[in-house]
């Protein structure tokens, strides 16, 4: 005999039902979202939590009960994964947008001391900027670039092959050109 449901599923809106049905049938959706959508649809059609867990391919109805309670509070956001432990994120969307804005800016040789961004020169520029991030790490920068779809080698700005600027002790800057740069490449 099943226990009484303490927090029954609230009535679904037509938009929620449509989204849940599409997610439950989706081939290219994350498997955990599909399982949650199937469980919620089973409960909405009148199944017990234990039966809904079986329909969704799970063993316990307690997880379905927790999912229903979360769906009642947050709606369709209950399908998404939650923070799975570890330290909370220190850098939100605003800080990550700031990292990407600095990355997209071409570096200035005088101010940044480089002609191309590396992770450490980008970190230095972000830490020095008045509106920058004084404690940003190279790992956070790399993770932000990966999340934005960049791979560091494909997205960096490149110097002209065969020429480099040399800075001397007395402060003079000279451009040095290698006449054999093209034959060396091939």
CA distances from 184 to 103, 163, 166, 176, 177 (A): 30, 13, 21, 16, 13
The pLDDT value given to residue 159:
44
Residue whose C-alpha is closest to residue 70's, from 60, 55, 59, 81: 81
The pLDDT value given to residue 157:
43
pLDDT tens sequence across 22-68: 999 999 899 999 999 999 999 999 999 999 999 999 888 999 999 99
The pLDDT value given to residue 64:
93
Quick check: 23 and 33 in contact, CB under 8 A? yes
CA-CA distance, 21 to 33, in Å (whole number)? 11
CA distances from 27 to 21, 24, 31, 33, 60 (A): 12, 9, 9, 11, 25
Q: Return the structure tokens found at 29.
A: 């959706």
**Mean pLDDT of each 10-residue bin along the chain, 186 residues long:** 73 95 92 95 94 91 92 93 78 91 89 86 92 91 83 50 73 77 61
Quick check: 23 and 48 in contact, CB under 8 A? no
Is pTM beyond 0.75 here? no
Beta strand pairing status for 163-167 and 173-177?
antiparallel
Mean pLDDT of the chain, nearest integer: 85
């Amino acid at each position: 005999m099943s226990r009484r449901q303490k927090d029954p599923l609230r009535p679904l809106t037509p938009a929620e039902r449509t989204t849940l049905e599409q997610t439950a049938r989706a081939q290219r959706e994350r498997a955990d979202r599909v399982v949650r959508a199937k469980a919620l649809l089973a409960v909405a059609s009148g199944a017990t939590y234990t039966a809904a867990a079986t329909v969704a391919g799970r063993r316990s109805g307690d997880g379905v009960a927790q999912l229903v309670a979360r769906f009642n509070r947050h709606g369709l956001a209950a399908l998404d994964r939650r923070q799975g432990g570890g330290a909370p994120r220190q850098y939100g969307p605003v800080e990550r947008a700031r990292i990407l804005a600095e990355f997209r800016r071409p570096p200035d040789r005088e101010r940044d001391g480089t002609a191309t961004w590396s992770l450490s020169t980008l970190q230095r520029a972000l830490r020095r900027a008045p509106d920058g991030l004084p404690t940003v790490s190279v790992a956070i920068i790399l993770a932000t670039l990966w999340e934005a779809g960049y791979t560091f080698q494909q997205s960096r700005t490149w110097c002209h092959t065969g020429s480099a600027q040399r800075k001397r002790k007395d402060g003079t800057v000279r451009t040095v050109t290698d006449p054999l740069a093209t034959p060396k490449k091939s």
